[in-house]
Amino acid sequence: MKLIFEKSQPGRRAGSFARHDLPVPEVPATLRRRQPPRLPEVAEPELVRHFTELASRTFGIDTGFYPLGSCTMKHNPRVNERVANLPGFRDLHPLQEEDGAQGALELEWRLQEILTEICGLHACSLQPAAGSQGELTGLMLMRAYFADRGEERDTVVTADTAHGTNPASVTMAGYKLQKVGTDARGNLDIDDLRAKVDERTAGLMLTNPSTLGLFDEGIEEVAGIFHEAGALLYYDGANLNAVCGISRPGDMGFDIVHINLHKTFSQPHGGGGPGGGPIVVRDTLEPFLPVPAVVRDGERFRLDYDRPKSIGKVRAFTGPFGVFVRSYAFIRAYGPALKAMSEVAVLNANYLLARLKDAYELPFDRLCMHEFVLSARRLKREHGVTALDVAKRLMDYGFHPPTIYFPLIVPEALMIEPTETESKETLDAFVDALLAIAREADESPELLKDAPRKRPVRRLDEVKAVKRAVVRYRFEEHPDLSQEPSEARMLEVQKGA
């Protein structure tokens, strides 16, 4: 398929505008182009066909199974889109006065109340724009809390299975990072943890269940260790889809939770957004939440800026409102049966695990929660087939690959999350594909090393793409790197689980 620039022909247009005998305004010299931009010149039919063809090559949850671990790529009910498109929500200006936005404010307040109950905590701010910003907001609350108490704490503990945003957020918040290992059961290593928690420790950032898909069996003991040291517990809500209505982070001992609305509560996401990362906290942290707070006064709802200990704003207005509408509609559709969402997600994951664990290595032989991690280490050792090869070959069977090479403590990791919205027939087809790939690794390993074979784009030279990135079209000077020899692909050696 050619680039749109390569289809360009001088003088062709996709449309034309009426010409009027009006004076042309003078553009200041400092803003004036030296020459016109070189834009594609194509007729409308070619333009429509080009982008329609691009759209047909796009893989998403609406086109196939998307088992991307720790991303919760579930079906997004279309009724949510209809609700978000109601004129009263869709056309509301963010600066509308409160009296003219009572419906929107009530929805936000009710969503806060629901999320607070789900987490077993006391107060909520919907403001953070995504999970990563929710993390940073939570750490800012932690810093404000200790500053208000006159305590100097400079270290935050994370697990060696943590999402990459955790250590990044710790650094951005100005804390030192302390990593804790995983024990043979896939839990936090308690002995390692005890040795690293002291009076300088501000808190723990933990996903539970972890990115291994395992619920930490010692979470109450972990919470006790930190609380006895005067530290706080932060819950990374990326995997909340596993426990809604079953267990609550607040009851586990967590003080701060961020929630990925776009994952757990259904919002089309990927490719940069949109998302939502509300933060839910214990009552001792409520004074520090971002402003404005959405509050209820009798039958009226308003924005409260009178929070002198607040960390301030973390994004514009009250947050991504369209995301709130979709998530609220999703939760209300389940009602008291929300627990079933997580129960089915856990059931689906364990069904896949039971069918696949003999063909691939299982680093931790336990029942999983909503996702699980397999290893292609045996395939690599016996046949030279890597997790990347398995993922690429899976594309030929019509499935999006799972997350690979994460968490880092599992060599040749394949992280699979089916969610609750997939049918047994889809799950069985996915299993059959992975079992077939395991047989192919034994019988025809070169087939996997050359995959994908049936997709519009074959396997890319990822090393060359990084070292010789070409991110814009340069017309006559555009380089052709297709004839350059490929460079050897180097993978970092990973520690065994």
442-458 per-position pLDDT tens digit: 999 999 999 999 998 89
Looking at the fold, whether 184 and 301 belong to one and the same domain comes out as yes
| pLDDT score at 487 | 63
Looking at the fold, whether 264 and 299 belong to one and the same domain comes out as yes
Q: In this structure, what token pair is assigned to residue 432?
A: 């059959």
List, for residues 354-376, the tens digit of each pLDDT value.
Answer: 999 999 999 999 999 999 999 99
Q: What is the CATH number of the domain that holds 161?
A: 3.40.640.10
Question: Where among 336, 370, 388 does a domain terminate?
Answer: 336
Look at residue 64 and tell me if it is in a domain. no
Look at residue 496 and tell me if it is in a domain. no
CA 271, CA 460: separation in Å to the nearest integer? 19
Looking at the fold, whether 320 and 408 belong to one and the same domain comes out as no
Looking at the fold, whether 1 and 84 belong to one and the same domain comes out as no
Looking at the fold, whether 412 and 467 belong to one and the same domain comes out as yes
Indicate the average pLDDT of the chain: 94
Residue 494 in this model has a pLDDT that exceeds 50: no
Interval 317-345 mean pLDDT: 96
Interval 104-109 mean pLDDT: 98
Look at residue 487 and tell me if it is in a domain. no
Q: In this structure, what token pair is assigned to residue 120?
A: 């077993």
Q: Which of 10-14, 355-359, 460-464, 466-470 is the most confident on average?
A: 355-359
CA 47, CA 383: separation in Å to the nearest integer? 46
| pLDDT score at 493 | 42
Give the whole-number percent of the chain exceeding pLDDT 70: 97
| pLDDT score at 274 | 83
Looking at the fold, whether 305 and 357 belong to one and the same domain comes out as no
DSSP 258-283: EE-HHHHTT----SS------EEE-G
Looking at the fold, whether 296 and 164 belong to one and the same domain comes out as yes
Total domains in the chain come to 3
| pLDDT score at 272 | 63
Look at residue 203 and tell me if it is in a domain. yes
Look at residue 68 and tell me if it is in a domain. no
| pLDDT score at 466 | 87
CA 89, CA 73: separation in Å to the nearest integer? 25
DSSP 374-428: EE-HHHHHHH---HHHHHHHHHHTT----EES-STTSTTEEEE---SS--HHHHH
Interval 25-32 mean pLDDT: 92
Looking at the fold, whether 323 and 273 belong to one and the same domain comes out as yes
Residue 384 in this model has a pLDDT that exceeds 60: yes
List, for residues 298-329, the tens digit of each pLDDT value.
Answer: 999 999 999 999 999 999 999 999 999 999 99
CA 230, CA 149: separation in Å to the nearest integer? 11
Interval 78-97 mean pLDDT: 95
* Predicted confidence band of residue 497 (pLDDT cuts 50, 70, 90): very low
Looking at the fold, whether 51 and 162 belong to one and the same domain comes out as no
Question: Where among 302, 336, 370 does a domain terminate?
Answer: 336
Q: Regarding predicted confidence, which is higher, 19 or 282?
A: 282
Look at residue 261 and tell me if it is in a domain. yes
* Predicted confidence band of residue 352 (pLDDT cuts 50, 70, 90): very high
Domain span holding position 47: 1-16+23-58
Looking at the fold, whether 323 and 367 belong to one and the same domain comes out as no
Q: What is the CATH number of the domain that holds 410?
A: 3.90.1150.10
Q: In this structure, what token pair is assigned to residue 329?
A: 């509609």
| pLDDT score at 495 | 42
Residue 408 in this model has a pLDDT that exceeds 80: yes
* Predicted confidence band of residue 12 (pLDDT cuts 50, 70, 90): very high
Looking at the fold, whether 315 and 355 belong to one and the same domain comes out as no
Q: What global pTM score does this model have?
A: 0.92
Look at residue 378 and tell me if it is in a domain. yes
Looking at the fold, whether 364 and 253 belong to one and the same domain comes out as no
Residue 26 in this model has a pLDDT that exceeds 80: yes
| pLDDT score at 476 | 87
CA 430, CA 74: separation in Å to the nearest integer? 15
